[in-house]
Structure 1
Amino acid sequence: MNRVLLACAAMTMVSAVPAPMTVKVEAWQTSGDGQQRLAPVSVSSSVTPGAVRIEVDPSRRFQTMVGFGASITDASAILIQKLEPAKRAALLDELFGTGSGKLGLNFTRLTIGASDFSPTHYSFDDMPAGMRDPQLRRFSIEPNRQTVLPTVKQALRINPGLVVMASPWSPPSWMKTGDSMIGGTLRNDSYDAYARYFVRYLKAYEAEGVKMPYVTIQNEPDFSPKDYPGMRWPPADRAKFVGGHLGPALAQAGLGTRVLEWDHNWDLPEQPEAVLADPQASRYIAGVAWHCYGGDVAAQTRVKDKFPNKETFFTECSGGGWRPGWKAGFGDTVKNLMIGSTRGWARGVLLWNLALDPSSGPHKGGCSNCRGVVTIDPSSGEITRELEYYALGHLSRFVRPGAARISSTSDAKLLTVAFTNADGGIVLLAFNAGDNPASLEVVAPRQRFGHVLPAGGAVTFLW
């Protein structure tokens, strides 16, 4: 870590008579070409004439933060568990631990049954074709016991404050029209059984020491995949399920798990709005979860403005071959997720797979060119930290759970977001979306310093 002592004028945004003060500032930078990656850099006590002024106001507070992370999919857990024990322990400590050189992830998402990043298409209550199990006598989380469950439990030992949420890609096939985990939708006579399925899952994980404060009811309910589990589930039916079945079932079971609606893209905000407008469903819905694959991040603020008492979470975005290289991949992740999503009220930000192999797997159907936060080569055990690792790190290393987002000025080419931690420390992330280096002047109460940020680069300041 690079600590820079700056003698500068103590200054508020309205103070006309600054007093001299010694200020300690730390900074870490990633360049637009990836040559610098969360590298310690110095800031300057002098400011370049004409520098872009960034004003930080800790007195203006917004949402409190849950954290940052990525999903522990079947694929991720399989690869992590294949590592030899010492290497596995070191990787998980690096990802979920705190302190120098660690990523500090404190939020993760599990899949309730299979996703496309599973070696088989399974649920926790599979039945032979044509048979049903409405009493859930065959329910078991056994498919998770060798990979997902031990990975999550080890992460929790490293970081007991890790927040775990979960999302299903599909109900068991016997609950659906078409009797398949692929396509179809939830049968009208399966609503009660499916609500109890959620309760059984949450209780089974809780019995293993894994509590889940949040669930969504369906991953991407406006999309029906052709070759992996999923289903379309219209807003009126989702409202019916939450208001009449899942919400009461969770309450009766004494579970504190909170339901998040939508879990899909920014391009259809009218769908979560319709569900939240249902008074019975809204009683049991804590907030809205968002994905990045369509629309604009401004949708988060639109829905928040209409339903200010509901929480906002960002729950999935994958890197991949469609966003190659640092300029596209790193820049988009910092701009839209780390900054855009949190300025859009997100309390937590999750990327998709925590780990994938060099062939974007293991998977069965779905995305064949996705990229994990890390890439693990199962034949050699080599671990590659991908550009998403560094994008996450610009906030996950420094913004602690319970931090509050605070006011910071931002524009189209110089984007920022700022937070204050419980200890009073200030974290400011700035991203230069322009094509030329940008000179910055950072101004806050008792603070003023300068910095030159390269084109496409991101810098995190901590004081």
Structure 2
Amino acid sequence: MKKVVKTIALFGILTAIGCKKPADEPAVNYLKVNVAPQTTFQTITGFGGANRMWGTASLKPAEAAKAFGTGDNELGLSIFRVRLSSNKNEWPIIVEAVKEANKRNVKVLASPWSPPPALKSNNSDVRGTLLPENYKAFKDYINEFLAFMTSNGAKIDVVSIQNEPDWKPTYESCDWTATDMINFLKAPGQIVGAKLAAPESLNFNQQMTNALLSDPEAARKFDIIAGHLYGGGIGRFPLAEQQKKEIWMTEYLLNLDTGNAGAPKWSTYSETAKWTETMKMLTSVHDAMTSNWNAYIWWYLQRYYSFIGDGEEGTTNGEVLRRGSAFSHFSKFVRPGFVRIDTQADGNYFLKITAYQNGPQTVLVVLNTASSTVKNVQFNGLTPKSATAYTTSETATLVKKELTVAAKAVTFDFPGNSVTTLIINN
């Protein structure tokens, strides 16, 4: 059992639950957080976003620089998701964008929405199933895609078997059960040249995921547990952790439901509504990290509701949006190879805190979900030489502040409804 340090004064408790001190005594919210680098969790693979999946509007070099760079007004994304098309004629569309990611050491995940129609039960790229007699042929098709990309100087690091195998839409798709996927993995043929991810289910279905992990032969055939967050799915995956599989969240989208027929346009919503949804997105990242997941990948990284504007709904094509800046509190500062470490705090009513370390640098990402400022939050347990804070809220974007180190501690006031990254150099 971990030692819990008493970290909040009685008055701080009373204040947090709405009680007030007498008028002659000033109100103070006081919280001590102990950072415990000796307690380690998962190694971070990265945070990313997706390319446009259909059509020819692939990520261009100028936008790729903003998406993958780590300088000012850049997002630091370290994973890029693309579509493995069921039509070979579409493969060249993504080559330039993948090469831009490769130049910056960004990992690339390719996901198929359907095998080629000729390999399926209904000869269509919508619904249907992959015929068992064509399991090897589909593996060969994936290998041909990987070889094509390599021959064009574009490296794919990870490939998936199927996007959302348990979702039955009326667009490009393919139906798979857990048994189907197990049989596919165990069938003759082998995917070579990239790591393999599965099952990429709609809501990170534990039953489907654990079925693959519970079959020893199938489990040996893939490297990464992957899934999406539509309708739920965040939680620990003990079997995956036991088998030392990486856990990747490979798609999630929040856009105030503007994609639905007849829905109000994005431009009609207030900045408060948009920021409230952005905080919901950030909370899902926090929850994924505290569930020991290694990677988090958002949906389209360039779209009016996303990280970089596309020229629609009042955005400027190529501009970094506030939602992108908010996501960069994780993606730009928590880099691949960082290890999540523990934090302990009593009375932590509003703050969601995760901490990460790489060598002498500790990075903390703090969400204040309260509407008011949480003041005098003191971080202990490290030996800081310097510290810097970056804060984003509805009205501020990556506001930088150099912090004072006193008595081996760093103190900061967290504005209401905000995300702050603290970079502490030890």
CA distance in 2, matches of 1:182, 1:64: 37
Structure-2 residue corresponding to 1:102: 74
Amino acid at match of 1:376: D
Alignment of 1:111 onto 2:79: no
CA distance in 2, matches of 1:269, 1:292: 12
Change in CA separation of 1:262 and 1:52 when aligned onto 2, cut-off 3 Å: farther
CA distance in 2, matches of 1:333, 1:413: 16
Question: Among residues 216, 219, 227, which one is paired with 1:279 in the alignment?
Answer: 216
Amino acid at match of 2:307: V
Alignment of 1:259 onto 2:259: no
TM-score normalised by structure 2 residue count? 0.77
Structure-2 residue corresponding to 1:396: 331
CA distance in 2, matches of 1:438, 1:381: 34
- Give 1:322 shift: 2.9
Amino acid at match of 2:278: F
Alignment of 1:457 onto 2:403: no
- Give 1:237 shift: 0.7
Instruction: Tell me how large the CA RMSD over aligned residues is.
Output: 2.6
CA distance in 2, matches of 1:75, 1:235: 27
CA distance in 2, matches of 1:397, 1:59: 24
Amino acid at match of 1:405: R
- Give 1:380 shift: 9.8
Preserved CA contact (<8 Å) 2:99 2:155: no
Structure-2 residue corresponding to 1:217: 161
Q: Name the SS of the counterpart of 2:294 in structure 1.
A: strand
Alignment of 1:333 onto 2:305: no
Which stretch shows the higher mean deviation, 450-459 or 206-215? Answer: 206-215
Higher relative contact order (CA 8 A, sep 6+): 1
Question: Among residues 372, 378, 381, which one is paired with 1:436 in the alignment?
Answer: 372
Question: Among residues 406, 413, 416, which one is paired with 2:341 in the alignment?
Answer: 406
Question: Among residues 281, 291, 311, which one is paired with 1:377 in the alignment?
Answer: 311
Change in CA separation of 1:292 and 1:207 when aligned onto 2, cut-off 3 Å: same
Alignment of 1:66 onto 2:45: yes
What aligned pairs does 1:221-370 form with structure 2 within 5 A after superposition?
A: 221-226=165-170, 228-245=171-188, 248-250=189-191, 253=192, 255=193, 257-266=194-203, 268-298=205-235, 300-301=236-237, 304=240, 307-322=242-257, 325-337=273-285, 339-356=286-303
What aligned pairs does 1:416-427 form with structure 2 within 5 A after superposition?
A: 416-421=353-358, 423-427=359-363
Preserved CA contact (<8 Å) 2:329 2:421: yes
- Give 1:271 shift: 0.8
Which stretch shows the higher mean deviation, 374-383 or 51-60? Answer: 374-383
- Give 1:97 shift: 1.4
What aligned pairs does 1:169-248 form with structure 2 within 5 A after superposition?
A: 169-226=113-170, 228-245=171-188, 248=189
CA distance in 2, matches of 1:326, 1:441: 30
Change in CA separation of 1:412 and 1:239 when aligned onto 2, cut-off 3 Å: farther
Q: Name the SS of the counterpart of 2:127 in structure 1.
A: coil
Amino acid at match of 1:295: G
Preserved CA contact (<8 Å) 1:78 1:148: no
Change in CA separation of 1:402 and 1:177 when aligned onto 2, cut-off 3 Å: same
Q: 1:32-90: per-residue Cα shift (whole Å, max 9, x none)?
A: xxxxxxxxxxxxxxxx9542332211122222122111012345961644xxxxxx53x
Q: Name the SS of the counterpart of 1:346 in structure 2.
A: coil
Q: 1:132-169: per-residue Cα shift (whole Å, max 9, x none)?
A: xxxxxxxx4x4232x42112212333x1x111111111
CA distance in 2, matches of 1:168, 1:412: 42
Preserved CA contact (<8 Å) 2:352 2:367: yes
Q: Name the SS of the counterpart of 2:190 in structure 1.
A: helix
Amino acid at match of 1:451: F
Amino acid at match of 2:423: L
Change in CA separation of 1:294 and 1:302 when aligned onto 2, cut-off 3 Å: farther
- Give 1:315 shift: 0.7
Q: 1:84-132: per-residue Cα shift (whole Å, max 9, x none)?
A: xxxx53x32222112333211111111111xxxxxxxxx23xxxxxxxx
Change in CA separation of 1:99 and 1:221 when aligned onto 2, cut-off 3 Å: same
- Give 1:263 shift: 1.0
Change in CA separation of 1:79 and 1:174 when aligned onto 2, cut-off 3 Å: closer
Preserved CA contact (<8 Å) 1:335 1:431: yes
Q: Which 5+ residue runs of structure 1 have no aligned equivalent?
A: 1-12, 15-47, 82-87, 114-122, 125-139, 359-370
Change in CA separation of 1:267 and 1:197 when aligned onto 2, cut-off 3 Å: closer
Structure-2 residue corresponding to 1:57: 36
Preserved CA contact (<8 Å) 1:263 1:289: yes
Q: 1:403-452: per-residue Cα shift (whole Å, max 9, x none)?
A: 1111123756311111112x421100011123332232222222412222
TM-score normalised by structure 1 residue count? 0.72
CA distance in 1, matches of 2:173, 2:118: 14
Amino acid at match of 1:260: A
What aligned pairs does 1:120-135 form with structure 2 within 5 A after superposition?
A: 123-124=86-87
Change in CA separation of 1:376 and 1:449 when aligned onto 2, cut-off 3 Å: same
Preserved CA contact (<8 Å) 1:73 1:148: no
Q: Percent of counterpart pairs with the same letter?
A: 25
CA distance in 2, matches of 1:183, 1:153: 31
CA distance in 2, matches of 1:386, 1:50: 32
Preserved CA contact (<8 Å) 2:74 2:320: no
CA distance in 2, matches of 1:321, 1:430: 24
Give the number of equivalent residue pairs.
360
Preserved CA contact (<8 Å) 2:121 2:131: yes
Preserved CA contact (<8 Å) 2:163 2:201: yes
